[in-house]
Amino acid sequence: MDIGPQSKSGNAMTAKYRLLQSKYRAEVLKEDYGHGPHKNSTSHYGNMLTSGEETGSNFISDAAFEFAKEKVLQKQHNKSLTIDEFRLFNNMLSSMPMCFNLFSDLRALLREDPAEASRIARDLFVEIPWIDQLLEVDVEFIPTPIQDYTNDKSAFDAMLIVEDQDGRKGLISIETKYTDILGGNVAKDSATKNALVEQGGFFNDELKAELQEKGYKQIHRNFLLTYAYAMKQGFTHFANVVISPEEDKLSVAEIDELRQGMTQYQDRIFKIPLETVVDRGIRFNDSDFAGVMLRFHERYLKP
């Protein structure tokens, strides 16, 4: 199979992972390349599938494919969901299907063996000391009604609800990135977010003034949504985690910059490299979950 055309846009990291996905399609899936990156695009690329909504080839497990289809059905009833079905099922480079591949099997395991799923969650997120029991796993979750939170369509790529040893609940919101970056797209409708900032009291005056003048970037919206959802649900704990490749230094810089403008909760936002999360999962050699993480490594990280 031909690896297919490679887009000339993007940086060196994007080119590397695009080529990896193209080789996986050609050598492992043994499928022809398709068009993209959008449904009506006429260009063809090696990282695009042809009929992923039927084959499920963009997913490394049945659990991931079935959960993705379930979320697409949810979109019919929840218009706030921003799932792009074509990208989800056919773009191998997208972080959206990657997130389903990373967390769907943990969600399935939680239904079958809560104790084992909780053990895995504790080891995947060793940076978070208040995880005792895993209660819920979701992907592409947007709290509604949106006006009760940040009044925009910000969503959690993944979300874990957990409980500590004293039965107090906590939220882990997760932003997953593969080759895309956190981004500078700014939300200008800031009244609700400004009110949240005042209520929380966690940004200093300089950052508050900057946000009111220039608007809220994705990193700010993600943190605010995490805080707002945790407070609304009466959770004791919360953390906002970015999971992206080690090479992604921009997210680290953005997190550091945000922390400099925070007066509290600096430890509630941090990055865990994608390679670290996957390596931790592979170590569960007595669990089927390790096999899922091995397939994930081959699909997304294999040099």
Structural domain spans, the chain: 51-300
E strand or H helix at 137: strand 133-141
Strands 133-141 and 156-163: antiparallel
Q: What is the pLDDT of residue 291?
A: 96
Q: What is the pLDDT of residue 67?
A: 98
Contact yes or no for 148/231 (Cβ under 8 A): no
Lookup: tokens for 113: 């063996």
CA distance 61 to 54: 14
Phi/psi for 246 (5° steps) reads: -55, -35
Which residues lie below 8 Å from residue 135, measured CB to CB, with a gap of 6+? Answer: 161, 162, 163, 169
Q: What is the pLDDT of residue 188?
A: 62
CA distance 132 to 134: 7
Between the alpha carbon of residue 136 and those of residues 95, 106, 162, 246, 287, the distances in Å are 21, 10, 7, 27, 19
Residue 30: CA count within 13 A, CB half-sphere: 0
Taking only the tens place, the pLDDT of each residue in 262-293 is 999 999 999 999 999 999 999 987 789 999 99
Tell me which residue has tokens 């009604």.
Answer: 145
Burial 115-152 (b: 16+ CB within 10 A, else e): ebbbbbbbebbeebebbbbbeebbbbbbbeebeebbbb
CA distance 146 to 149: 5
Q: What is the pLDDT of residue 189?
A: 67
Taking only the tens place, the pLDDT of each residue in 255-268 is 999 999 999 999 99
User: Which segments of the chain have a pLDDT < 50?
Assistant: none
Q: What is the CA radius of gyration of the chain?
A: 19
Q: What is the pLDDT of residue 27?
A: 97
CA distance 160 to 235: 12
Contact yes or no for 269/240 (Cβ under 8 A): yes
Query: What pTM value is reported for the model?
Result: 0.96
